[in-house]
Structure 1
Amino acid sequence: MLTKKAGEWLELSVPRDWEGLTIEDILKNAWSMPKQMIHQLRMEKGVRLNGESIYWNTPLAHNDKLRVHLFIEEDYGVQPEYIPELNILFEDDHLLIANKPPRMDTHPNEENQLGTLANAIAYHFQANGVFTKVRHIHRLDRDTTGAVIFAKHKLASAILDRRLEKREIKRTYLALVHGIIKQKKGTIDAAIGRDRHHPTRRRVSQRGQKAITTFKVVQTFVNKKMTLVELELLTGRTHQIRVHMSHLGYPLAGDTLYGGQPIVPRQALHAARISLEHPLTNEKINCEAPFLDHPPIFDNLLV
């Protein structure tokens, strides 16, 4: 689908498979736009067809020019801060995927906090004349590195949130764990809840939230008694991979909260790849996130 940003408007050519549908069909069904957004667009005459405001039940024709008032100026929601480590993997008018370094929060956890990935994204937006709220679609633990998705407007955020919930965004992680895993691949289906004996720790609990992780062994290191594992999240619980691998008896290297040994300065967990369909154009996006540790922790251990 051909789209372009025209000031505060998204302009697109109606594709053949939308022919005969109405504006209401597109907003409600094709995009599943939140009701509040639909109401606002209706009140503000924020949809135009071939340059005119029309009734929303008008059938669309192939190659009609549809405009939607989408790029509304907003406060960033966090304080912009220049952080030279910002590593952008993908960006267009609708979303941004960044590679989060270690020892950095995804977003502020308290008022006026600086030094987070969200602060760096806000500065990047500001420097490029983009005035929109910084919206993370998911997050990574402070000491987990790798790919994080940010939406650049409300519609992209709503679509990506829904796709994440429906498991349509594929997130692939690499972890280095203690022990030799003999099972080549498997699925961990174990609910996760809070540990009432510790303020931040989670644990496998029948009363917890459903949590599913798949894994496969990439490489074993017999002399080091360690295994490199590739994992995919089918749910997004706090500390999910760390809790699940510890529960199996294979805690992550460096993850002292869940039984790992401090042989590296952080838990050896990296969000290595992310795959999704673009929220507006439906093109396939595949991002590989390179390791960012200096000195490298995976490379040092894999010698």
Structure 2
Amino acid sequence: MMINFEKKGEWLVMSIPPVWEGLTPEQLFQEVWKAPKKQTHFIRMNKEMLINGKSDLWTHNLTKGDCIRLKLFQEEDFGVTPSYMDVDILFEDELMLVVNKPPGIDTHPNSPGQTNTIANGIAFYLQANGEHCPVKHIHRLDRDTSGVILFAKNSFAGAILDRMLQERNIKRTYTAIVHGIMQKKKGKIDAPIGRDRHHPTRRRVSPNGQKAVTRFEVTETNKKNNTTIVRCQLDTGRTHQIRVHFSHIGHPLVGDLLYGGKPSYHRQALHAAKLEFVHPFTLEKLSISAPHPW
């Protein structure tokens, strides 16, 4: 089942589908979207949610076909400086977009004045299309990792997507080339990750670190180059997680000099290949892929 919505000025307009029938708007916000209480309170107090044109029906049961309006599209600052670059858009609607990040570029500015990140490029793209909304990344990729990144176009959608990621309802699939021929064809690496006291950016497996779980499956082996291509899925999203975990089991990523890889590839051989999740407003099952660079 898929629900259609449309943007009308500052408002998102949609009809209540059968699956939400019988819920109150309160339940829709709290139990279905799991929106933050502070945002829900703000929307309620400022009458930015209307059911059939009325703002006082928060505890009334919804019926199929009721018209819900949410004021989500006020003009806001991008949060970053728009800067032209060629942005590869894989999916877009009024609430979110997914881009294919090239390697060698940061996800977002790490210092004041930095303008050469994918977030700056998205801000320019939105500005050129007449949209003025915050550029909010839902997750990030390392500078030298390529592939899919999800961005929200407003704080309400961003908060819902953040919660979905936190609850593992956004499935992320990566591919990596690692050194050595892996004997185990499928499994999981469950090893906590913490900071390395001896290096400003490196992480390491540490008993006092945060829980980190990586599931993997071998997709191809190359005996000539002594490498293995693995497909990975993250149960957690720790900094450098895949890189640390494969280095820990003796199979560092090709090109990953920070974690013991050899410079036989021009960067760490890691690619965010696919995102899968159910769109929180349309209920469409989305599967968005970025083509492999190798």
Aligned mates of 2:104, 2:289 — CA distance in 1: 20
1:15 maps to what in 2? Answer: 17
Aligned mates of 2:174, 2:261 — CA distance in 1: 18
Spell out the pairing of 1:114-153 with structure 2 (5 A cutoff).
Answer: 114-153=115-154
Aligned residues of 1:156 and 1:280 also touching (Cα < 8 A): no
SS of 1:55's equivalent in the other structure is coil
Q: How many angstroms does 1:215 deviate by?
A: 0.7
Q: How many angstroms does 1:196 deviate by?
A: 0.4
Aligned residue identity for 1:252: L
Aligned residues of 2:91 and 2:288 also touching (Cα < 8 A): yes
Spell out the pairing of 1:28-107 with structure 2 (5 A cutoff).
Answer: 28-84=30-86, 86-107=87-108
- Cα deviation 1:3-23 (Å, max 9, x = unaligned): 111111111101123223222
Aligned residues of 1:107 and 1:116 also touching (Cα < 8 A): yes
List, as ranges, runs of 4+ consecutive aligned residues in structure 1 with deviation greater than 6 Å: none
The alignment's C-alpha RMSD in Å is: 1.1
Q: How many angstroms does 1:171 deviate by?
A: 0.8
Aligned residue identity for 1:38: T
Q: TM-score, normalised by structure 1?
A: 0.94
Aligned residues of 1:99 and 1:146 also touching (Cα < 8 A): yes
Is the deviation greater in 61-70 or in 104-113?
61-70
Over the matched positions of the two proteins, sequence identity in percent amounts to 55
Aligned residue identity for 1:39: H
2:6 maps to what in 1? Answer: 4
Spell out the pairing of 1:238-249 with structure 2 (5 A cutoff).
Answer: 238-249=239-250
- Cα deviation 1:257-279 (Å, max 9, x = unaligned): 00000111100000011111112
Aligned mates of 1:277, 1:55 — CA distance in 2: 27
Aligned residues of 2:277 and 2:285 also touching (Cα < 8 A): yes
Aligned mates of 1:104, 1:262 — CA distance in 2: 19
Aligned mates of 1:190, 1:247 — CA distance in 2: 9
Q: How many angstroms does 1:52 deviate by?
A: 2.9
Aligned residues of 2:96 and 2:150 also touching (Cα < 8 A): yes
SS of 1:125's equivalent in the other structure is helix
1:295 maps to what in 2? Answer: none
Spell out the pairing of 1:160-175 with structure 2 (5 A cutoff).
Answer: 160-175=161-176
How many equivalent residue pairs? 292
1:289 maps to what in 2? Answer: 290
Aligned residue identity for 2:79: G
- Cα deviation 1:79-119 (Å, max 9, x = unaligned): 001102x1111000111000000100000001110110000
1:301 maps to what in 2? Answer: none
Q: How many angstroms does 1:225 deviate by?
A: 0.7
- Cα deviation 1:39-86 (Å, max 9, x = unaligned): 2112211111222333322222210111111122110000001102x1
Aligned residues of 2:192 and 2:205 also touching (Cα < 8 A): yes
Contiguous gaps of at least 5 residues in structure 1: 293-297, 299-303
2:226 maps to what in 1? Answer: 225
1:258 maps to what in 2? Answer: 259
Aligned residues of 2:257 and 2:263 also touching (Cα < 8 A): yes
2:200 maps to what in 1? Answer: 199
Aligned residues of 1:246 and 1:259 also touching (Cα < 8 A): yes
1:189 maps to what in 2? Answer: 190
Q: How many angstroms does 1:2 deviate by?
A: 2.4
Aligned residue identity for 2:21: E
